[in-house]
Amino acid sequence: MADIFLSYRRNDAPGFAGRLAEDLEAALGAGSVFRDVDDLRLGQDFVGVIKRELGSVGVALVMIGPGWLEARAGVEVENKRRLDDLRDYVRLEVVAALASGKPVIPLLVNGATLPREADLPEALRALSRRQAFCLSDANWKADVVRLLADIRPLLPRRGGAWRRRWPWLLGAGLALALGFAWWAGPPAPSGSEATLPAVDLAGRRSATVKYDWGAEHRETFEFQVRGDQVNGSASFLRLPRSIEEGRLDGGRLSFATRSDEVLGDAPPREVIHRYRGEVEGNAIRFTLASTGGYSRHPPLAFVARRGGE
């Protein structure tokens, strides 16, 4: 079940809605956000699904762009304002959200302002009395961080604990143990090329990586090898990062990548990601340790395979 219900009008703020849903799910996990374009299947009862989802989420977000209030239905129905149509899906969503008793937060995007109570249909007027939150394109990342901080306490409990509120407790402990064991272990003797098994590293590999804050992404790795030097790219949060200090020593692979972490209005801080891997045929058993930025993260363990095997 989803944790967040996201209402929006498709021709008013579709890009913002998709972008926000993706960023929220990156932080909270796949399936944590319900929005009709992704989650309604053909033949389903729209009203029934909306009521069911609102019963399980912790908060409803109503995205409002510049055209949200005055969107028109067209000349077929005398250019009627959509919010005045009892069958309008956005109206149905907002009415159901307000009636659910759950927190309802208006999200203002692309320079929109919160509609006045007098400008709304009577069934929606309570929306104008809710505290709104502004999402700006220029400060998007910082705004999403602030939004997450505000809504996390509102999210439902799953299995007796705050869902995804604390980082991947059991898995993180295992990854931490594996990571320390790896880093503390003695380096393998370099030996000679005649005594080391041949390692076929070049090419593309991919892995599903679950990060300690709960996000899960399919990451890709592209390697080019010249002697013991390794170049290429490794994605972090699905964005390719250039490989630095890449080295292959027998079956042991090591390299680093960089990214930036943003927290609120503070300036970005660089994060260094150091990968250590053991190449075993088409698989690479990785440990990833990240340092810098604003947060501390335990080492992660995962396996990358050629061709997504």
Q: What is the pLDDT along the chain (309 residues), one digit of tens a residue?
A: 789 999 998 888 768 888 999 999 998 888 899 886 444 444 445 676 788 888 889 999 999 999 899 888 754 556 788 899 888 889 989 999 999 888 999 999 988 899 999 999 999 999 999 989 999 888 898 889 999 988 988 887 654 333 443 343 334 444 444 444 444 445 545 444 444 456 788 889 999 999 888 888 999 999 999 888 999 999 999 898 999 989 998 889 999 999 888 776 778 888 899 999 999 888 999 999 888 887 777 888 999 998 654
User: What single-letter amino acid sits at 16?
Assistant: F
> pLDDT value at position 158?
54
> pLDDT value at position 6?
94
- 173 with 158, same domain: the answer is no
Distance CA 115, CA 87 (A): 20
> pLDDT value at position 124?
95
Q: Answer with the one of 98, 132, 162 that is the final residue of a domain.
A: 162
> pLDDT value at position 228?
87
CATH classification of the domain holding 194: 2.40.128
Cα 93 → chain centroid:
24
| Phi and psi angles of residue 153, each rounded to the nearest 5 degrees, phi first | -65, -15
Asked if residues 72 and 80 have their Cβ atoms less than 8 Å apart, the reply is yes
Q: What total number of domains does the chain contain?
A: 2
Dmax (CA) of the chain: 83
- 92 with 224, same domain: the answer is no
Strand 300-306, strand 283-292: pairing:
antiparallel
* Helix, strand, coil distribution of the chain in percent, nearest 5: 30, 35, 40
- 158 with 173, same domain: the answer is no
> pLDDT value at position 282?
87
CA 106, 107, 110 angle in degrees (round to 5)?
135
- 12 with 109, same domain: the answer is yes
> pLDDT value at position 178?
46
- 58 with 121, same domain: the answer is yes
- 148 with 190, same domain: the answer is no
Tell whether the torsion through CA atoms of 177, 180, 185 and 187 is positive or negative.
positive
Helix (H, G, I), strand (E, B) or coil at 124: helix
Supply the range of the domain harboring residue 66.
Answer: 4-162
- 180 with 296, same domain: the answer is yes
**Which DSSP symbol is given to 115?**
P
> pLDDT value at position 166?
38
Please, what's the b/e burial string for 216-240 (b: 16 or more CB within 10 A of its CB; e: otherwise)?
ebebbbbbebeeeebebbbbbeeee
CATH classification of the domain holding 35: 3.40.50.10140
Please, what's the b/e burial string for 71-91 (b: 16 or more CB within 10 A of its CB; e: otherwise)?
bebeeeeeeeebbeeeebbbb
Distance CA 148, CA 137 (A): 16
Structure tokens belonging to residue 282: 């088409």
What pTM does this model have? 0.51
Tell whether the torsion through CA atoms of 172, 174, 177 and 178 is positive or negative.
negative
**Any alpha helices (H) in 159-247, and if so which ranges?**
169-184
- 138 with 39, same domain: the answer is yes
> pLDDT value at position 4?
94
- 72 with 217, same domain: the answer is no
Helix (H, G, I), strand (E, B) or coil at 100: coil
> pLDDT value at position 60?
93
| Tokens 């590293």, residue located | 201
